[in-house]
Structure 1
């Protein structure tokens, strides 16, 4: 009966667990699936709206073009009076030029009789000129109502398109003919290819004429009646295309009008969510088929989660009940254990009494009560004579027969063991006396002893109430061996850990050394690359002054633009190298953000206007704590990317407060960035689109490293088709902490007059012969007296007190020569200190600061000739004063 009741309880528990799991899983799966499907349907509707807007905008772009063309007097004249061959040719050329400007497919002028008078494709084999289009609906609509619209396949070209027509009337309002434009929508289908869904467009006959997959084009969404088929045949709307029916089965209709459809032809492996939107102006319908499997996945996940939660709850209840039963069982076991301990204590006292009795009454020495013990045991009385022992004691010490007897003094046993070396080194009598004294003292003891054969014994001694002593000998050899092995293993492990630590330290040092080598290599490579680039820019500047032809000047502009782009790439590579090596110094301080944003808006506003864009910015009075130069670099990259990838619209620069931080944001209306690529765009040489101009792909990589260096978080948010938002967070500061920048030195702008530089004695010292030649040519173009343009050795040989230049252009790194050190040696020869400009490819802030402290000029290669000219003029005027 008890077992039957137990099984009944177990069965009930299992039924509750399984039934509850199934019910929870079904309910949660149904609810989550419904909710996920509703969310998917709403998302599909929004996506369909975007596609509809894109299609309508493409059509509206050309909607007014037929009306404008209909007002052209040349077209109406050609329709009133048939033109001759020359007039027809002029008319064809005019339509061809208009077609190039508007970027339509074709422009066709059709007469009152329906025959094409002129066309933009007159020179092509598939020319429309002379073809009869009187049966086309767009012609009939325009002649009857003044305008018409029709989508079909071109009978001459065989290319499908959307035809927009408008009647050309005479002064009395009678139609003379029709102007027709054809728009090809194949580009729109190419844009739809980026969508993972199936996008379709159908006409008023429910014929699919646009699709992002070929298998869906020219499909019938319903059966057509005979009048509809006759109408399409008369207009030859789809020419000889075979219109196949689309076979589908609707499994379910949603509340918002969407349908769950299983496609049979074209076949799809899983059901799809079908949403439709009407385009009433064109009498079209736009459809989007989205995979409905995601909702099923959500439902399954929710069902699994709900079932797991019910099981977890059930197991928790069972666990609590089990804990209660275990607690009651422990209480019962504790009571039983206490009773058992009392019984064992009584038995132990009885056994001890038996042991003492056996020790006192033993006559043979071998006590049966000691035989069950695993240790060797020996008992002596108060006179230190043997009383009892067990066979294990005899096995451990291998005594000869007759030695161990009742009544034999223990001293004789000790002496026997001493002769075998079991009492350790030293005098035997002292060892024996020491052990006898310990037995007489009656103190318990415990020690370990190792025999010659490697056996380790644990010896424990305890006094007896009558003055005797009981000693046990336990063999702990295996335990000691295991302990020694563990210690050996631990030592080996520590040794191995130490070796691995040394290996890791060596690897870290090698990696750091490789990183330093890489940094030095990048800096050296960029320096060597900047040398010929600097010479090229100077030669271009000289060449610009010798050319007068506008086309040649434009070619020079292109060359200089290419050199500037190369300069930007090299500078970016050097910046990345300095950021990775940690050699880029920072100057973090509190400053007003408003002037920086105003400067950036003014600079990039000009570039935006040149691209046909608008740059808006929101003024701010915020004070931030950052490195102003590096923060400017971050925002410059944000704005440059925004202008590069925005085709039309505007770019917005503004700020948003967030507690103690300020987010500086740049919004654009570009194509957007997929969320899966948000991290990849911060990698070197990563470009998602080419934009209006091609970049090097280093800007955002530099932004990410500068943000990491300054501790400024960088974030990006983007919506495909709507634009992107890049932002950087900087700490807010107090206006009282703002330190005004030091006044800049006098700035001399470049002037076209050669007066300040004419006949000035200038030395140009550089170890690159191309740079020397370019510098000489540029300075001589400015009418300077170039007394020396050579390397450091030639400069040392030519330096003298009577040949002091008025200005020195000096490179910094010239093989074994250092620019500032060379200048000091030259000053010793000159007995004077003429002004000097350091012209170097070294991007070293410390070197720039050193030049400023000494009142020297400083320019980074490649040098812009206007900047060099302005700085030379400034130094000469300052030195003259």
Structure 2
């Protein structure tokens, strides 16, 4: 179940006060944008999708933390949304640490004002959660903001040949069988295997070149066009359903609204394929849900699966280049999630992860609906 879908399911079971808290999101974000533009240095120059950033997800996390019985302790628990916020502020703005801190302080004021105007009394326990969320959000955002400006160490692409050996071995074996026993083999079947694994190798090389370019400070090459992301999500999910089935029905389902925007269709397709393949690999054979929504000029696509959660100490590192925590039985480059991050950032957005035993794992892909102002033209 996606974050947005889980919100809807949650609201149906909660008292009216909780429903009214979730309903504050648009008022809080609208007021926050106005105040930030008026008081934060450099904010008035930012377009709305970049200014809003990951605030919708942070608000949703806070509303969940204020919901009685919800496992989320504060808006930052089991989530790297604040770190992603700091990362994007470092990449997309001229902010200093002071501006990042000021944004969170304004968010706290806007949340309190919206609750008061809606007649929602914030209790002492609520304020402990709100203040803890803001304080931790500031710390995590500034930590990532500083790390981005200081520069990350680049990892050497050692050991990549290990992942190429499997498809290359299939191709070589199939070719040898064709050469030695042409009259005894199924030529059509072997040809299909050669083509499939050749395509897999080609995709690996393409992702590797893109990732290496991005690690050297170059944005991914994007061919922007206008299309509906919901339609693309359904197409990619149909591919997953053609490979993996569940006794109760399709493995992957799509919900949400149609959002048409300016993006690179090929890179978004590959990013979504990576997220869904990751969910298939590391889920618990349960269903995978994809949800699409839009808010304040941004498109938010979530991919949710159940299964073993990502350990809190690994959440901040899961997008590191060539990192793989599931060593051994699960194949992979170790660049699938970094590639997804590269696609999001090259579109002027970001990707975050939210993972806990009680709620499963959700990847939040969040980019401007119209990416043209944030994408450098091709050389």
TM-score (ref. length: structure 1): 0.22
Q: Which has the higher contact order (CA 8 A, sep 6+)?
A: 2
**Which structure: greater helix fraction?**
2
TM-score (ref. length: structure 2): 0.46
**Which structure: greater strand fraction?**
1
